[in-house]
Amino acid sequence: MSSPWTVTVDQEWIAWLTFDLPDRKVNTLTAAAMTELRGILDQFPGDRQIRALVITSAKRDSFIVGADIDELAAITSVEDAQTKARTGREVFDTLQAVSLPTIAVIDGACLGGGLEMALACDYRLVTDRDKTSLGFPEVNLGIIPGWGGTQRLPSLVGLTQALQMILSGKPVDGPKAYRVGLADGIVAPQFLKEQTHRFVDRVSGASGRREVLARRRAAVPFPMRLLAATWPGRRLIYGRVKHQVLARTKGHYPAPLEALQVVSATHHRRNVDGGAVETEAFARLTGTAISRNLVWLFQAGQRLKKGVRTSSKPPHPISAAGVVGAGIMGSGIACALSNVGISVRMKDVRWEVVAKGMASAASIYRRRVKRRRMTPDQMSLAMHRIAPTVDDVGFGGLDLVIEAVVEDLQIKKTVLRSIEKHVRPDTIIATNTSSLSLESLAGDLAHPERFVGLHFFNPVDRMPLVEVVAAGRTSPGTLVAAAALVRRLGKIPMVVGDCAGFLVNRILLPYLIESAWMFEEGTEIERIDGLLEKFGMPMGPLALVDEVGLDTGYKVAKVLEDAYGDRMRVPGALGAIAENGDFLGKKSGCGFYRYRNGHRRPNRRLGRLARRSRQVDGVRARTLSDEEIVDRAILIMVNEAARCIGEGVVEGPEAVDMAMVLGTGFAPFRGGLLRYADERGVSGIKARLGELSSAFGDRFTSAPLIDSIADNGGGFYGSASGGVQDAK
């Protein structure tokens, strides 16, 4: 295999070390690449006339995105992890010791080990384009930087900025990297080579070097420098940051706390071998169950991003689209389309509704401007791509129309028939329904082959998953075009089969419904939510119902009850609350919780409704254990997920786990719903479902797939003795 590293010396005696990993779209620091890099560095400077060593990438949009994730996943022991960390650190120590000025030229993603390599250089130049980002995403994989990142970054950008980058895993763009002192120069990509030569000329002389170092020091605010210069000041910083980390992670993720401990134990400690402390912490975290789960989720996400595989060619590219329905979902979808350069006609029945939709889209863009993700000029252009309307003029020229009206079967069917009358024969028609079967919606369409489901999740601008739903008569070309559009929007398409609730809501709604049953039986709202947050859910189920809206959630729940019968029977308490009118959730200021001045507290007024509903539903008050509360909520989801796989709604457990993590925020550190089930043991889950069925009803009767897997002694992901593949 050809070498990934090439060294050339130009006429100005600058050595260019270019990284281009063969057969990869991006550069990763594989073990072989690191070994070869060390050999090259050991030879520098081979010629005393060489003025500087410049490290660049031949990959478009990428400098180096980190270590090889497959090699990380293959680490099986603490000793293996220690060896990998020490080897990488020694290579970058060698880079740091090169007697020439060393400059990392970063045009694109510079992450993880790539940033650690850049930090080992004397200087860093970055470009100002959108693709340039610098960061340490290791905590998102359950580990910490292991090749010197925790040691070099605080000395460069200051303690506070370094902790923010290391503990959050969030990258900074080129301009911010320059502002905080992480980069020593920022240039337009068109003039990168020319400006690199000029930068070498500057730092070759003592005055230019002093100028760069002075600017870097000035980038750290004086109060932060002063605070971090003393032990009491650093203790204050560490205490405040630890509190913030625990509030964000709820103690489920050890990597940020471990990274904080490494920095606090090594920064400004002259008699401490910081590299050794970092290596030991990296090795402790690598290979733990949490790290394995997070690494697996990353790999599964990469596989999912590859999209739908089919031999069918998609229809013509989508350049103009329509969105019918200007509510929260419709305006969010219109915003997502306009953001990638697609012209959008957003329609509703009244101008005041359309005006609210335009205001909602504008608020999304204003948040992006505030976070420096786009400029005001870019916002203006994107908003001008959205044309508000209350009629069908112009719909004949659209490539795609997405229906996003209220979740009512008859209203949606009427809207879809109207859309079909006003568009071209080849225009794709999509629905954003969250629960209604596509077959039920497509019944009156003349061309059901161009009808597809595009189920976006709320809020559209933040949720990465979109369910792409294929009805029985949806053509392969339509499916491919829909998935391609989702990827163009920067989101992840999950192709699922047609059924009520599709995949995510079909699994999530039983969790919400079961939590409502426990509330009706007399369990306190905050106890249900608290235990499930402790399990790892991003928010409790009853708080989630408030976020969705009691009226909306109840309507979707009833759709699933109609489709699946007693298995998803909705408790009377949920209907009584939803139909009350005063308790619609967060949007009305009161639901399961009362909301005031940014705070919430349980709504005690609902207790009377729960007691009345118990009599109507024929259930009794119960005192539940913590284990019963968690198992009733979580295992009913496992059971429904098994039914989805058994019915072919999705291909397998990986799709379920990715959908639940991306679509609901299911505890990532557990690896997904069905990885959790495998870790717990499917045989044990079958037995536990039997106990719950005896105590609480037939809705807990184990799915046929669970019975089959348990009988084979395997798991959803298979084993030597059985598993989902054998169960099929």
Q: Does residue 374 fall inside a structural domain?
A: yes
Q: What percent of the chain has pLDDT over 90?
A: 82
pLDDT of residue 1: 59
For 666, the 3-state DSSP assignment is coil
Amino acid at 550: L
pLDDT of residue 720: 33
DSSP 461-515: TT--EEEEEE-TT--HHHHHHHHHHHHHTT-EEEEEE-STTTTHHHHHHHHHHHH
442 and 478 co-located in one domain: yes
How does pLDDT run across 81-107, given as a tens digit for each residue? 999 999 999 999 999 999 999 999 999
What the block records as the tokens of 67 is 């270590």
Question: Counting beta carbons within 10 angstroms of the beta carbon of residue 646, is it exposed (0 to 12), middle (13 to 18) or buried (19 or more)?
Answer: middle
Q: How does residue 76 score in pLDDT terms, banded at 50, 70 and 90?
A: confident
How does pLDDT run across 15-50, given as a tens digit for each residue? 999 999 998 899 999 999 999 999 999 888 767 789
What the block records as the tokens of 279 is 């290596």
With 70 as the cut, is the pLDDT of residue 725 above it?
Answer: no
- How many Å is the maximal CA-CA distance in the chain? 91
pLDDT of residue 44: 80
Of 132, 131, 127, residue with least CA distance to 189: 127
Strands in 172-173's sheet, in edge-to-edge order, are 62-64, 109-111, 133-135, 172-173
672 and 713 co-located in one domain: yes
**For position 194, which CATH number holds?**
3.90.226.10
Cβ(277)–Cβ(266) below 8 Å: yes
Last residue of a domain, one of 450, 485, 520: 485
Cβ(133)–Cβ(172) below 8 Å: yes
Flag the least confident range among 410-424, 460-474, 572-586: 572-586
Report the number of secondary-structure helices (H) and strands (E) in the chain: 32, 20
Report cis status (omega within 30 of 0) of the bond before 171: no
With 50 as the cut, is the pLDDT of residue 722 above it?
Answer: no
Q: Does residue 35 fall inside a structural domain?
A: yes
Last residue of a domain, one of 198, 220, 242: 220
- Alpha-carbon torsion 316, 318, 319, 322, what sign? positive
Residue 618's domain comprises 499-624
How does pLDDT run across 426-459, given as a tens digit for each residue? 999 999 999 999 999 988 899 999 999 999 999 9
pLDDT of residue 46: 66
What the block records as the tokens of 167 is 């503990």
Question: Counting beta carbons within 10 angstroms of the beta carbon of residue 1, is it exposed (0 to 12), middle (13 to 18) or buried (19 or more)?
Answer: exposed
Strands in 320-324's sheet, in edge-to-edge order, are 386-389, 343-347, 320-324, 400-403, 428-431, 451-456, 465-470, 492-497
Q: Does residue 46 fall inside a structural domain?
A: yes
620 and 634 co-located in one domain: no
Query: Which alpha helices (H) appear in 344-468, and where do they start and end?
Result: 351-370, 376-384, 409-422, 438-442
Cβ(455)–Cβ(434) below 8 Å: yes
Of 722, 691, 690, residue with least CA distance to 709: 722
pLDDT of residue 207: 81
With 80 as the cut, is the pLDDT of residue 607 above it?
Answer: yes
Residue with the bigger pLDDT between 308 and 206: it is 206
450 and 346 co-located in one domain: yes
519 and 664 co-located in one domain: no
Cβ neighbours around 712 below 10 Å, total: 19
Sort residue 42 into left (φ over 0), alpha (ψ -120 to 50) or beta: alpha
pLDDT of residue 315: 57
pLDDT of residue 727: 38
What the block records as the tokens of 280 is 């030991």
Q: Which residues pair with 64 in a beta bridge?
A: 110
pLDDT of residue 311: 44
Q: Which residues contact 279 (CB under 8 A, 6 or more apart)?
A: 82, 85, 86, 89, 146
Query: pTM higher than 0.85 for the full model?
Result: yes
Number of domains in the chain: 4
With 60 as the cut, is the pLDDT of residue 8 above it?
Answer: yes
pLDDT of residue 307: 61
Q: Does residue 471 fall inside a structural domain?
A: yes
Sort residue 136 into left (φ over 0), alpha (ψ -120 to 50) or beta: beta
How does pLDDT run across 366-392, given as a tens digit for each residue? 999 998 888 999 999 999 999 999 999
d(CA 80, CA 75): 6
616 and 645 co-located in one domain: no
What the block records as the tokens of 445 is 């369409």
Distance (Å) of CA 173 to CA 19, 120, 156, 461, 644 = 21, 19, 17, 20, 41
**Catalytic residue set:** 455
Long-range contact set of residues 449-454: C-beta below 8 Å, sequence gap at least 24: 449/473, 449/474, 449/475, 449/478, 450/426, 450/474, 450/475, 450/478, 451/416, 451/478, 452/428, 452/478, 452/479, 452/482, 453/498, 453/502, 454/402, 454/430, 454/482, 454/485, 454/486
Residue 26 phi/psi, 5-degree rounding, is -130, 160
d(CA 291, CA 675): 13
Mean pLDDT of the chain: 92
Q: Does residue 390 fall inside a structural domain?
A: yes
Of 612, 607, 631, residue with least CA distance to 695: 631
Q: Crossing angle of helices 289-305/673-680, nearest 10°?
A: 140
563 and 664 co-located in one domain: no
Cβ(523)–Cβ(494) below 8 Å: no
Of 655, 659, 648, 662, residue with least CA distance to 704: 648
d(CA 425, CA 423): 7
Q: Does residue 301 fall inside a structural domain?
A: no
**For position 503, which CATH number holds?**
1.10.1040.10
644 and 611 co-located in one domain: no
DSSP 115-164: HHHHHHSSEEEEE-STT-EEE-GGGGGT----SSHHHHHHHHH-HHHHHH
701 and 599 co-located in one domain: no
d(CA 372, CA 178): 14
pLDDT of residue 217: 87
Q: Which residues pair with 485 in a beta bridge?
A: none
Q: Does residue 490 fall inside a structural domain?
A: no
Q: Does residue 155 fall inside a structural domain?
A: yes
408 and 557 co-located in one domain: no
For 435, the 3-state DSSP assignment is coil
577 and 521 co-located in one domain: yes
Last residue of a domain, one of 624, 656, 675: 624
Give the H/E segment covering residue 106: strand 102-106
Amino acid at 626: D
d(CA 480, CA 466): 14
Q: Are strands 465-470 and 451-456 parallel, antiparallel or unpaired?
A: antiparallel
pLDDT of residue 656: 96
Cβ(186)–Cβ(314) below 8 Å: no
Average pLDDT over residues 664-684: 95
With 60 as the cut, is the pLDDT of residue 308 above it?
Answer: no
Q: How does residue 724 score in pLDDT terms, banded at 50, 70 and 90?
A: very low
Q: Which residues contact 641 (CB under 8 A, 6 or more apart)?
A: 507, 653, 656, 660, 673, 674
**For position 634, which CATH number holds?**
1.10.1040.50
How does pLDDT run across 495-521, given as a tens digit for each residue? 999 999 999 999 999 999 999 999 999
Distance (Å) of CA 129 to CA 106, 113, 174 = 11, 21, 7
Cβ(568)–Cβ(561) below 8 Å: yes
d(CA 482, CA 399): 11
What the block records as the tokens of 70 is 């497959």
15 and 112 co-located in one domain: yes
Q: Which residues pair with 322 in a beta bridge?
A: 345, 401
With 90 as the cut, is the pLDDT of residue 302 above it?
Answer: no
Q: Which residues pair with 54 in a beta bridge?
A: 16, 103
DSSP 187-246: E-GGGHHHHHHHHHHHHHSHHHHHHHHHHHHHTS-HHHHHHHTSHHHHHHHHHHHHHHHH
Cβ(29)–Cβ(84) below 8 Å: no
d(CA 145, CA 128): 25
